[in-house]
Amino acid sequence: MASLIPNILPRDPHSQIFIVGASLVVLIGFIFASTFRFSKKVDEGPGGLASFLRFFYASFLKPHTGDGTGNGQQDALESFYKAQAGVYDATRKRLLRGREDMLGLVAAQLVHKAGNERTQDTKRIWVDIGGGTGWNIEAMSGFVSVPEFFSSVYLVDFSPSLCEVARKRFARLGWTNVKVVCQDARTFRLEDHENGASDAVGYAASTNPSYFAEKTGSVGGADLVTLSYSLSMIPDFYSVIDSLSALLAPSGTIGVVDFYVQSIVDLSCRNYTGGAINRHVNWFGRLFWRAWFDVDRVGLEAGRRDYLEYRFGTVLSADSRNYLLGSIPYYVWLGCSKRPDASLSTPNYPHEIVERIDAAVTESPYLSPINHTQTLSRTVERSTPPEIRSKAFDAAIINLSANLPLPSFFYQNHHWRIHYDDQLKKHTQFKHEYIYAFTWEDSRVDYRLLKLGPHDVVLAITSAGDNILSYALSSPARIHAVDLNPNQNHLLELKVAAYSALPYADFWKLFGLGKHPNFRSLLISRLSPHMSSRAFQYWLNNTDVFMSARGKGLYETGGSRHAIRIVRLLSTALGFRGQIKRLLEAKTLNEQREIWTKRIRPLIMSRVLSYLVVSQEKFLWAALGVPHNQLAMLEADHIAAESIPGAPSPSSPLGHSEKELNSSRGQAVWEYMVQTLDPVIESSIIGEDNPYYLVCLQGAYSQRCHPDYLKPKSHQKLSRPGAFDGLRIHTDEINEVVNRLTPGTLTVAVVMDSMDWFDPGAEAANTQISKLNRALKLGGRVLLRSAALTPWYIAAFEEHGFTSKRVGARIGGACIDRVNMYASCYILTKIENLAQPTSRTPSRENSVDLETLEI
């Protein structure tokens, strides 16, 4: 049958598109017909079948030639809408997806800003461009009270037929603050209506001021401007978008939802678009949808969205598909003034915000770029090291000098997340997946070892963010969370946003149970104002993590899910699933030990399982995040222990050939498992005081056993305003971040087991150690864990100005913490500064002058 297809379909691409289009028309007709209710209610217009027939006729059969009045665009719109104005809303519900999402997002932004306003009687103005029948304005009532929240709402549309439907809608609702304006969007001015100069309810007219005229300033501008599937129907979209930049208030929000087609190649040189997840549409899709929508004079060329993003700053952006109707691409976009809100800082914005973020990221002293004097500059020049700039600063300078919007990270409500280029291979290699859904470091031990205080500046690997949150509970001055995997930082962002926006009950469902049936709604209406565009896109694209009925929730996602699933499959296949439940319910160590020793250990610690599955390098990397070099370290330790029984000697993979290391892998991994798990069972009750293994075995925490950051008191503390003002989330390598920190400003660096990843004896390890020395103050500490008892790189630390102290070691069955996943734990303390290179970074006086750059 497949061989007949080339003979049935014509070879001409245009004919193929026509056939596919005709098939899609039939599909759309079937979907509409099957979803409409065929019963007609009083005062609701035509019934379902009649509505569909009108829509079908107006969209696919009726020629759009206008009525001959010569009114241009208005004539064309009436030709299309007049015959179907009464059934417009009924026929667009399935076609125009994303409208509710856009409204929810802009409402969340406005509510967030309202919460920061000192006065509650703020006058808010909303202008809905191309608002048609007023469906958007009525739908907004699902998020805020339109009559109470907005002082004035203007529906601006060029179709008299649709405007008439809107008037009837608002008369029925009794909303007197909504004014329907039948007018070309290019000529709409708030001054004509807010000052009472014209009748906004009727067919208002306005004289378009000169292009070169100064803005009057009589009206502060609209707090909200929305375009819902209207931008694609405006032929002269450049002038309309230009007019919107003058219409929007300096602190206003603009929201757009519309169809689009675009290639990812178009975005390769742009850093201000807010991310590119799902943005690419393949060649056939671009060709087909442009041709399809062109029949109804709907323009899908990429320039509309591109110009929108050029004229405004991107706050949030997301791309999706309407799979119900043939996978039609659409986007939801939120923007703000290209020059950010000056009310947040000084009139020198955005220069001020660029400098502030740069200072916070690099731990440099902040100097206002407009207010400091030359004398102060010279004083700082003499008293501090050569000035260091962050990557965020570099990106901002590039954009400012080219008259481009700042990268989207600068338009966030919170400046937690630092700019990074999401198209770099070092970030895309993770393929939109995090490895760890929870952190494998014992926060209780870290708390005891580090004793963080209000003057500490901490750098730590993000992982799943649990450790970052536990450090935040000690209120250090700054926390730099670093991870090369963007998705790990997306997870941390979600947790921080949840602290900022959600009550404890919702927070517990998300991160205690790992599931929340209303996650998507919370993401849009509550969490979105507290997230960067890239993190928001990621979670909007992965709502099933928390909402899937078939999924196990957050804690069975990420790369580590493979190990968890294997344990679950084994427990089912080998019949000890009930024993695991008993283990988690055990109240005493003796009861737990008996269940483990007699029922579970003989199966899960089987040498066959270890040799055939666990010791496989691909499994160790994909499921447990164990890289090749770390595996070699535990193999070398095993060889050393075998050669000197009872007294493991310092060992390095450098002392053994690859063949020698591999030959002992099965036995080495098995011994490592024994040394990890047996002491845990002996020393901590899993179901009562070991959340790390509890979440692995049951896929969720319990109210009596969970990490400290999930306690109600922790939520109370970290949900306070400003709790995360000191947090900076870097998506980069440790070296890149440390190299851009002002020397001598870090007090603590927590590098987990990352040093194990270096090639033994590699110069790269020495380079990172020397950079850590440069960034740390005297007395500053590095906390690390390792798969080896005496890691080879400890000697390198001692050669680079550190003293070492092993504060935990798995010797003689000892359990170094509740995880016990690592063989050792070290604290390295800086005791001397290394000699630094003499090359100088350009100082502030010699660097790019922000005052000469304008947006």
Q: For residue range 550-602, what is the model confidence (pLDDT) as tens digits?
A: 888 999 999 888 778 877 887 888 888 899 999 999 999 999 999 999 989 88
Q: If you ran DSSP here, which 8-state letter would residue 317 be given?
A: E
The pLDDT assigned to 61 comes to 47
Q: 282 or 634: whose pLDDT is higher?
A: 282
Domains and CATH numbers, the chain: 96-337 (3.40.50.150), 352-416+843-852 (no CATH), 561-698 (no CATH)
Longest dimension (CA), the chain: 99
Report the share of the chain in percent with pLDDT over 90. 54
Three-state SS at 412: coil
Q: Is the peptide bond before 350 cis (omega within 30 degrees of 0)?
A: yes
Q: How far is CA 35 from CA 46, 59, 325, in A?
A: 15, 18, 12
Give the pLDDT confidence of 64-120 residue by residue, as tens digits: 555 455 555 555 555 555 444 444 455 556 678 899 999 999 999 999 999 887 666
849 pLDDT band, cuts 50/70/90, is low
Q: What is the pTM of this model?
A: 0.85
What distance in Å separates the CA atoms of residue 755 and residue 700, rounded to the nearest whole number?
A: 30
Q: Is the pLDDT of residue 308 over 60?
A: yes
Handedness of CA 164, 170, 173, 176 (dihedral sign): negative
- Report how far residue 152's alpha carbon sits from residue 193's, in angstroms, rounded to the nearest whole number: 10
pLDDT per position as a tens digit, 152-170: 999 999 888 889 999 999 9
Pick from 55-59, 162-166, 557-561, 670-674: least confident: 55-59
- The Cα 36–Cα 418 span in angstroms is 47
Encode pLDDT of 377-423 as tens digits.
444 444 444 568 899 988 998 898 888 999 999 999 999 999 999 99
Distance, CA of 74 to CA of 190 (rounded, Å): 21
Closest listed residue to residue 699, CA positions, set 541, 535, 581: 581
Burial class of residue 207 (count of CB atoms within 10 Å of its CB; 0-12, 13-18, 19+): exposed
Per-residue pLDDT tens for 779-827? Answer: 999 999 999 999 999 999 999 999 999 999 999 889 999 999 999 999 9
Instruction: Tell me the one-letter amino acid at 468.
Output: I
How confident is the model at residue 129, as a pLDDT?
96
- How far is the C-alpha of 135 from the C-alpha of 450, rounded, in Å? 57
The torsion region of residue 834 among left (phi > 0), alpha (psi -120 to 50) and beta comes to beta
- Average pLDDT in the 254-262 region? 95
Q: Is the pLDDT of residue 842 over 80?
A: no
Min mean pLDDT across 9-23, 311-325, 603-617, 705-719 is at 9-23
Return the SS3 of 65: coil
Whether 39 shows a pLDDT value over 50: the answer reads no
pLDDT of 674 above 70: yes
Specify the pLDDT at position 731.
97
Among 241, 200, 246, smallest CA distance to 222 is for: 246
Taking alpha carbons only, the member of 78, 73, 23, 32 closest to residue 55 is 32
- pLDDT-wise least confident of 71-85, 520-534, 606-620, 691-705: 71-85
Q: How does DSSP assign 322-370, residue by residue?
A: EGGGT-EEEEEEEEEESS--GGGS-TTTTHHHHHHHHHHHHTPPP--TT
